[in-house]
Structure 1
């Protein structure tokens, strides 16, 4: 237990590197952040770019489910272990840069809450690892190399900016690989070899999120409770939203104006639930509504706008 409490290197890195290098690693670490996943996968689902896969909408929905599942798993583990981050994780001296760069420096290079295992390391391993398997761009070898490069760089960035110890990210990657293997075992699509079943993914994520909430209540530690609630709400919303759609790939892509308005509406609701420190039931309802809306938005556009000539996803 003493090893886990000290956990090697990490807390002094910020003092040893130039500010510009630390800032660049702070930018890189955003590739594994939940906000980035929200923006990327929502856009991918609505635009439904056919070149990424022969089932682009299923693929995009699977990424949403994977992100929620990894968030739920890492929340349960963080609260269960309740191990601290490096002492300087929540502290960063803003460099003498013009605003908003100095503010972004502090935002990108600090973090709070429990530290073990690294959620960024686990999440990027799951998401980008799955991308290497299910996407059709490039060949499989190049996809695996690209995924490994992203996971390695994001994991390294967590130590460089001083918010994790080395063992946090190593264990996060290993757990991500185990979780990814489990996902492709229990959530493989029966009707599309090589693909995942979003409905099963959302169900699995909901179970893990329920476990995370239970751990929060049992330990009596409120840290990360909102993450568990968001994962549960998003998973339930995703399950019911995906279940209500019959022919997913034939739904139209969202027109740019509709997508823009929908994005700010859905994102605003999610951010508001988090920023206002809403009670857990409110967070569950809000995030559930957001994810369900994201999934059914193409069908809503078709119904209310009569978009019979919209570009088809397949």
Structure 2
């Protein structure tokens, strides 16, 4: 797969077609497949799935939560194998003179990319996560959910080509690998009802990534997979909690926020490998067990108040 043939002329045809506003819109659309956005999407679905009296919905939500983890470890493992470059100029953003200074670094981060280019991680992840959400959730009809997922995949994939950060073959391969991986994981997880199996797949792929290349990204991804898998089996699997009160929900959301802060701190500080692994595992475990922690904390507080109440 020679580098000149990977584009099939598409990046050249799209070069310079979009003006300043168009490029900003493309940079926004590409976030549909970014790790942070899909993690927030999956986390929101997971939290919303903890409906009282419906543990099956919680299991399906946990399956969706597992998919960004599978995505991250898979992309890290694959790109370390192929080591194919991106198009020239992928790491340089166009100048948008009217952007506020505070938004310039945000735009530059969204509109550029570095590292290896094959396969497209954004295309793989969007197919895996948005497609998995369409299969596992019960919002509206499956046809509507698949239409939304398909639209997200097409828009995001086009944005990667139009921004010049991927060749056409990178994007097509990413979508294809994401679709195959989703099918395999969905079937292994008993049509999304056994998220522990999906998380175990993430652990296995994450281990391959670490063995292939020991880096902050590979260690963090592996730590996330291990922490999420351990938390599901140790704290959740037998009786998934479905918080029934506002207090339980508040503690659950607070746990998610704190876990997100820990992830951000690790990302910004890039600590030594053992700290990265343990911190990532703890944060992921907290996210998976957030509803259960919320239920247990509120129940414990209520029991303590009952013991200390006079009479």
TM-score greater than 0.5 by the shorter chain: yes
SS of 1:241's equivalent? helix
For structure 1, which segment, 271-280 or 25-34, has the greater mean C-alpha deviation from structure 2 after superposition?
Answer: 271-280
Q: Indicate whether 1:158 and 2:150 are aligned.
A: no
Which residue of structure 2 lines up, in the alignment, with residue 33 of structure 1?
A: 34
The 10-residue stretch of structure 1 (5-14 or 267-276) with the greater mean CA deviation from structure 2:
5-14
Whether 1:140 aligns to 2:130 is no
Contact 1:86 1:164 survives alignment (8 Å): yes
- Change in 2 beyond 3 A, CA 1:296/1:5: same
Check conservation: 2:64, 2:136, Cα contact below 8 A. no
Is the aligned partner of 1:250 residue 2:242?
A: yes
Change in 2 beyond 3 A, CA 1:307/1:23: farther
Tell me what 2:101 maps to. 99
TM-score by length of 2: 0.86
Contact 1:23 1:108 in 2 (8 A): no
Matches within 5 A, 1:18-29: 18-29=19-30
| Bigger proportion of residues as helix | 2
Which of 291, 297, 300 is matched with 1:304 structurally? 297
Unpaired runs of at least 5, structure 2 = 303-311
Residue range with higher mean Cα deviation, 225-234 or 199-208:
225-234
Q: Indicate which of 124, 127, 131 corresponds to 2:126.
A: 124
Aligned residue number for residue 16 of structure 2: 15
Could you say what secondary structure the match of 1:55 adopts?
helix
Deviation per CA, 1:40-86: give whole Å up to 9, x if none: 222332343649x9733212211121111121112111111111111
TM-score where L is the length of structure 1: 0.85
Question: In the alignment, which residue of structure 2 is the partner of 1:212?
Answer: 209
For the pair shown, the structure with the greater C-alpha radius of gyration is: 2
Cα deviation code 1:144-168 (max 9, x no counterpart): 2221111111111111112111111
What's the Cα RMSD here?
Answer: 2.5
Q: Distance in 1 between matches of 2:85 and 2:13?
A: 15
Aligned twin of 2:89: 88
Check whether the contact 2:58–2:242 (CA below 8 A) recurs between aligned residues. Answer: no
Task: Identify unmatched segments of 5+ residues in structure 1.
Answer: 189-193, 218-224, 310-314
Distance of 1:152 and 1:240 partners within structure 2: 35
